[in-house]
Structure 1
Amino acid sequence: MAQTGSTYTKCRQVGTTSYNKHMFLNSECMSAIDCAIMCKEVATCTAFTYDDLTKTCRLYQKIETINCELNKENGGITFTKETECHVNWETCGNSCYFYEGTTRRTLDEAIEYCISQGGYLAEVTDEEELDLVNSMIKGSVLLGCTLYDGYWQGRTSGQKLVFNDTMWAPNEPRGQGHKCIQIWKDHGKFDDISCLGIGDIICEKVSILRFHFIVTKASDL
């Protein structure tokens, strides 16, 4: 899952709090917009509240947590995050994924195809993404990751990628000059391959993001 740009630079984390067995993140942000950006970049954030007086931003994982918390206060504003993808694209975190398996392509062809679809060749970076892609594909797919100076790097994000050992197929990675990655359908795991290989395509792009807000007045509580 590619991420670009700096991460909520105008917010400062001040701790986490457990309420009703659910966690929420407490931060100080310059504005509600900065708080929204922070929620956008945290895949597990489903909503946030922002207090303009104290500059307090709270990110929530579950909507019911917000309702409980607001009932303790004299009103507030709740923003809920909704992400959606275009038809035939699947959602995971803040990204959308599209599988093309009718024609096997080279890496360069796969990159060009994903660009033509408004996305980029997917950078699968964690187990959740790997599980989603495995549920979509019918053959081995090329990924947008390259071995560079001894470490894996996202072709689009440019970020250094560190993969859990459990994401690799048995006896992988083999090295031997293999500097690209496919998801090996037979194992559902990573396999390092020559960058001259061919495969199916999994494209990724940022999901459509919308925030809805609810104003809760003291008289409503």
Structure 2
Amino acid sequence: MQQKPARIRILDAAHELMTTLGLARVTTKEIARTAGCSEAALYKYFASKEELFVDVLRERLGPLLERLTAEPGERGVEENLTEIARRAALFYEQSFPIAASLYAEPQLKRRHEQAMREMGSGPHIPIQGLDAYLRAEQRAGRIHPSADTFAAASLFLGACAERAFAYDATEEARPPLDTFAPAFARTLLRGISPEAGPPEAS
């Protein structure tokens, strides 16, 4: 069987090690060894561990984020929000073990945040994408005109992220995606729909 290209092997190894050990504990040397290549070969494809981390999220977990936005009028708002909630919750569930260890290493966290800014990436991007979708639906009359779409997007994705975080250290099972996603979509939509939108600011 033909061996995978080196870049793919490196991404596979990084994904596996970052998921099991956490970003802070994994070294590029260990990733290269697991991928069956030299550390010098790794740096031919990735400038830093932070860049490799971003590419792991984008290429291994990225498909989960493809519907964190949607075109207005494409299916119903509730159906779109249900799919966005399902994908977002699954993304955070799978990426949380990778990123959580950053908070134990302040220096690495600062380097990682700087790398994310330089690459135009970061956890705020999905919020901006969902906000843009909600504003488009608002212009189309399917979201209440006084609704704060940025606040709604932040609450929505924050709850999806919290589902990953809150149950990680407990023995309780996470709420199943098949019930969490539609229930949360319906709950948010009740607060921002044209029929039951928030009151005008005083």
**TM norm structure 1:** 0.27
Instruction: State the TM-score, normalizing by the size of structure 2.
Output: 0.28
Which structure has the highest helix share of the two? 2
Larger Rg: 1
- Select the structure that is richer in strand: 1
